[in-house]
Amino acid sequence: MIIIDGRTSDKSISDFANLEEILAAIMNSEEMADRVITDILVNNAPFSEIYPHQAEDMGSDTITSVEVRSKGAAEMALSISAEMEKVARMMAGASREIARLFREASDSEALELLQDLLDVTRDFLNMIDTLCNQHARQVPEGYKAKTEKLSEMLSEMTDVLGNEDWILLADMLEYDFQPLCEEWREICQSLHAELSSAAK
């Protein structure tokens, strides 16, 4: 039995060779247009791939039920936008902590956390960009300028990182990066308000 968002599908598990084919058919169906899969249950147990194409290795003869739960893309975007301010706050807190570690000469710990912060910041920018371009009717005021400013700062920090100037890096994190994260919290609030308004 194949269940999509609580409704039994007219598709049969035996029509497919494996789980990957079943999921591909579900994702390409009309009812999944503008929807994002949030949960997959196989034989009533949560399923997520541990390695690429694991679903291909699950023959349909071993499957009795597949249930897919999804959310509308706009609803998903709204949920994600609600979390973005928390991410900006976390980035500000991390920059303070990393600056403190550099000043205390705990360089290896600071560098490890800094790499995580840089990765999170890039993901943050990419996610905000996706939300603005694909879901917002109106982009928050100051968004473009702040995006450029944060991108430039990431480049500068990467250069300083290459020169191993830990004190300058600590100063940049505390006096430049952290205040910019606070400004991004306002952008995130505006974006969430815009998406909330669009969802009504």
DSSP E strand stretches across the chain: 2-4, 7-8, 35-42, 45-46, 66-72
The answer on 140 and 50 residing in a single domain is no
E strand or H helix that includes residue 163: helix 143-163
Structure token pair of residue 101: 């570690």
The answer on 181 and 137 residing in a single domain is yes
Residue 142 falls in which region: left (phi positive, over 0), alpha (psi -120 to 50) or beta? left
Q: Kindly state the percentage of the chain with pLDDT values over 90.
A: 40
Distance CA 79, CA 73 (A): 10
Find where tokens 């300083």 sit.
160
The answer on 189 and 167 residing in a single domain is yes
Burial of 164 (0-12, 13-18, 19+ CB in 10 A): exposed
The answer on 182 and 85 residing in a single domain is yes
In a domain, 38, yes or no: yes
Q: Is the pLDDT of residue 182 over 70?
A: yes
Strand 35-42 versus strand 45-46 pairing type: antiparallel
Q: Is the pLDDT of residue 199 over 70?
A: no
In a domain, 48, yes or no: yes
The answer on 92 and 35 residing in a single domain is no
In a domain, 89, yes or no: yes
Give the pLDDT band (50/70/90) at residue 91.
Answer: very high
Closest CA to 131 of 179, 181, 199: 199
* pLDDT attached to residue 136: 74
pLDDT, one tens digit per residue, over 161-174 is 889 999 999 999 99
Furthest C-alpha separation in the chain: 64
| Among candidate residues 37, 64, 91, the one where a domain is terminated | 64
In a domain, 70, yes or no: no
Which range of residues forms the domain containing residue 57?
2-64
Q: Which residue has the higher pLDDT, 161 or 140?
A: 161
The answer on 168 and 107 residing in a single domain is yes
The answer on 151 and 187 residing in a single domain is yes
| β-bridge partners, 4 | 7, 68
Q: Kindly state the percentage of the chain with pLDDT values over 70.
A: 98
pLDDT, one tens digit per residue, over 115-127 is 999 999 988 888 8
The answer on 109 and 137 residing in a single domain is yes
Q: Is the pLDDT of residue 200 over 80?
A: no
pLDDT, one tens digit per residue, over 24-79 is 999 888 888 778 788 899 999 999 888 888 899 989 999 999 999 987 767 777 78
Instruction: Count structural domains, the chain.
Output: 2
